[in-house]
Chains A and B, each alone.
Chain A
Amino acid sequence: MLRKSLLVALLLAGCSKGPQADLQYIKQARSLGSEWALINEQARQGKLTRVYVSSMHQWLRQQLQTSSSALSVPNARYAIEIHALLQQPDDAPPQELRARCAVLKQIEDQLESA
């Protein structure tokens, strides 16, 4: 019985589509956006080297793009938010990035409690 339930759960985890399946990418995008905001905040205070900041921007953008492309519902609200994050310039104000991430966090929490 336990083995059957585990197999079913594993299959569901591997094959599912829709917002629940997208949850991991929403989380990734929310975290990437928050990392971006933290970096820009510290950079504005002169605590980071220019090379580090530009290198991190490049990797963050690349990872965000990967998360965005992996979504199974491309026109969902979270997909639009992730797309909007990607449209931000590298030196976007931390508050702006955090506002986008807050929306993603809200969606994430709703999906998790569903």
Chain B
Amino acid sequence: MNPLELTLGIMTAVGGFVDISELVFAAKAGSTFGYALIWVFAFSTIGIIVFSEISGRVAATAKQPVFNLMRHRLGLKLGLITLAASIVSNLITCAAEIGGVALVLNYLTGAPYFLMAILMAAVMIASIWVLPFQWIERTYGLLGLFMIVFAAALVAIHAPWGKIAGGFVPHVPHGLSTKELLTFGYFAVAIISAVMFPYEVYFYSSGGIEEQWGPKDILTSRVTAILGMALGSLLAISILANSAQLFGPANVDPELPGTAALEAAIPFGKWGLILALLGMFFAIAGAAVETCMANAYSIAQFFGWIWGRHKKPWEAPRFTITWIVLFLLALAIVLTGVDVMMLVEFAILFSILVLPLTYLPVLLLSEDRKYMREYVNGRLAKTLGWFYFAVITVAAVAALPLYFLTSGGNG
């Protein structure tokens, strides 16, 4: 285990953890329910750590990407349905991220939103074309570390640490009306979906294959997933706790992504604001790149095309054309003028519906001794894997009714 590589990997995971959906739902959850939803963030983070560890181990041992598995394990018909649903889910998520990046640039520079969306799509396409895989991930992830300003803000505003610690204990607040309980349920499902987005597993396991992981890399992957995601989750929880402290009492339920940046501006002034916006910019841009790549990986793996950023773009032509077209499609969605917050809600809904089908084949293969040999799931991974699979299945079933009954969490 190379300590420098490990540190960089962890820092990249921390900086790349928060995306537009987590940002939006963390801020809204804090202002609406105080610290009561912190445990859902912590709970979902354990879930994404479990599945990242499993998919990293599968990539290192069986050398199988998720969508290759899906086709073989679910069969062609169900595999195709899952592929179609995940393409839609990732495309909407990618559009929400591009819209989010354009909004942040608009807050930073005042330049027109649509122009910024076009410019950023071009910059992100160029960065994928030019940078090797590892540096695509690291550039955005490391610069996303500016988001640490949200954790610093929490210290600076003298947050009630006792209440925050209490938020880590699973509970539902007392005295909520039926309507409020349903809204609490909707927020819980949305947070699970935002933290456990399917693209994260597609990207993580495909990245493992891109970087040619072998069994010797399993420990590094495990430590990176556990520490990187746990620390990254603390940033999302900081956004939630700042919101509970600063926005809730002011009757603010952040309706714009830019409102979250006020959390750093209130204690630190202009520099806090700029650092928060820069952190949001790089974290969201990184997520845009990851969703687009994850989508292209899925399609290429499913149809058995040559894929990967370790190859020159022209050595994997169908894969290259696919990710460029997907980026342009996501940009086209943004250019229709659809509201970014609406895109975030649709991304959350579609993702939770796809989640069980994403994780099932990974879970099944990770228990197959023929492929996994001595790296097959242990008792802990098996128990946690099936437990979280049950949780996301229940969340997937509940998502649509909760969305309609609560008008998308607006009561």
A residues bordering B, Cβ < 8 Å?
Answer: 6, 9-10, 13-14, 23-24, 27-28, 30-32, 34-35, 37-39, 42, 46-49, 51-52, 54-56, 59-60, 63, 66, 101, 105, 112
Given contacts A10-B405, A42-B262, contact A27 B253 (CB under 8 A): yes
Closest 3 CB pairs between A and B? A24-B410, A51-B110, A31-B253
Instruction: Let me know if A51 and B255 touch, CB within 8 A.
Output: no
Instruction: Let me know if B405 and A9 touch, CB within 8 A.
Output: yes
Given contacts A9-B405, A42-B265, contact A31 B254 (CB under 8 A): yes
Chain B residues in 8 Å Cβ range of A48: 262, 265, 270, 273
Chain B residues in 8 Å Cβ range of A63: 255-256
Instruction: Let me know if A56 and B401 touch, CB within 8 A.
Output: no
Instruction: Let me know if B253 and A52 touch, CB within 8 A.
Output: no
Judge whether B106 is part of the interface by a CB distance below 8 angstroms.
yes
28 contacts across the A-B interface (CB closer than 8 A): A6-B401, A10-B404, A14-B404, A23-B407, A23-B410, A24-B407, A24-B410, A27-B253, A27-B410, A31-B251, A31-B252, A34-B250, A35-B252, A35-B255, A35-B259, A38-B252, A39-B262, A46-B269, A47-B269, A48-B273, A51-B109, A51-B110, A52-B107, A52-B277, A55-B258, A56-B259, A59-B103, A112-B177
- Chain A residue with minimal CB distance to B258? A56
Instruction: Let me know if B411 and A34 touch, CB within 8 A.
Output: no
Instruction: Let me know if A28 and B277 touch, CB within 8 A.
Output: no
- Provide the bound-state CA to CA distance between A63 and B32, in Å: 19
Instruction: Let me know if B273 and A52 touch, CB within 8 A.
Output: yes
Chain A residues in 8 Å Cβ range of B83: none
- Provide the bound-state CA to CA distance between A95 and B93, in Å: 38
Most buried by A among B107, B272, B401: B107
Given contacts A27-B411, A38-B262, A39-B262, contact A47 B273 (CB under 8 A): yes
Most buried by B among A6, A31, A39, A105: A31
- Provide the bound-state CA to CA distance between A27 and B262, in Å: 20
- Mostly, the B contact residues are helix
- Provide the bound-state CA to CA distance between A27 and B269, in Å: 28
Total CB contacts across the A-B interface at under 8 A: 92
Chain B residues in 8 Å Cβ range of A60: 256
Instruction: Let me know if B401 and A10 touch, CB within 8 A.
Output: yes
Chain B residues in 8 Å Cβ range of A49: 270, 273-274
Judge whether B155 is part of the interface by a CB distance below 8 angstroms.
no
Instruction: Let me know if B107 and A56 touch, CB within 8 A.
Output: yes
Most buried by A among B252, B258, B261: B252
Judge whether B108 is part of the interface by a CB distance below 8 angstroms.
yes
Q: Mark B239-251, 1 if CB is under 8 A from A, else 0.
A: 0000000010011
Chain A residues in 8 Å Cβ range of B165: none
- Provide the bound-state CA to CA distance between A2 and B106, in Å: 47
Judge whether B122 is part of the interface by a CB distance below 8 angstroms.
no
Instruction: Let me know if B252 and A55 touch, CB within 8 A.
Output: no
Instruction: Let me know if A13 and B251 touch, CB within 8 A.
Output: no
Given contacts A39-B262, A42-B266, contact A28 B410 (CB under 8 A): yes
- Chain A residue with minimal CB distance to B272? A47
Given contacts A49-B270, A55-B106, contact A32 B255 (CB under 8 A): yes
Judge whether B179 is part of the interface by a CB distance below 8 angstroms.
yes
- Chain B residue with minimal CB distance to A39? B262
How many Å from the CB of B258 to the closest CB on chain A? Answer: 6
Q: Which of B263-313 contact A (CB under 8 A)?
A: 265-266, 269-270, 272-274, 277
How many Å from the CB of B111 to the closest CB on chain A? Answer: 9
Q: Which of B103-147 contact A (CB under 8 A)?
A: 103, 106-110
- Chain B residue with minimal CB distance to A24? B410
Given contacts A30-B251, A49-B270, contact A59 B407 (CB under 8 A): no
- Provide the bound-state CA to CA distance between A10 and B405, in Å: 6
Chain A residues in 8 Å Cβ range of B107: 51-52, 55-56
Chain A residues in 8 Å Cβ range of B103: 59
Contacts A34-B251, A55-B110 known; 4 new A-B pairs at CB < 8 A: A14-B404, A31-B253, A35-B256, A46-B269
How many Å from the CB of B275 to the closest CB on chain A? Answer: 12
- Provide the bound-state CA to CA distance between A38 and B253, in Å: 12
Instruction: Let me know if A47 and B253 touch, CB within 8 A.
Output: no
From A32, A47, A55, B266 is in contact (CB under 8 Å) with A47
Chain A residues in 8 Å Cβ range of B272: 47
Chain B residues in 8 Å Cβ range of A32: 255
From B110, B250, B265, B401, A54 is in contact (CB under 8 Å) with B110
- Provide the bound-state CA to CA distance between A32 and B250, in Å: 11
- Chain A residue with minimal CB distance to B103? A59
How many Å from the CB of A106 to the closest CB on chain B? Answer: 11
- Provide the bound-state CA to CA distance between A39 and B196, in Å: 32
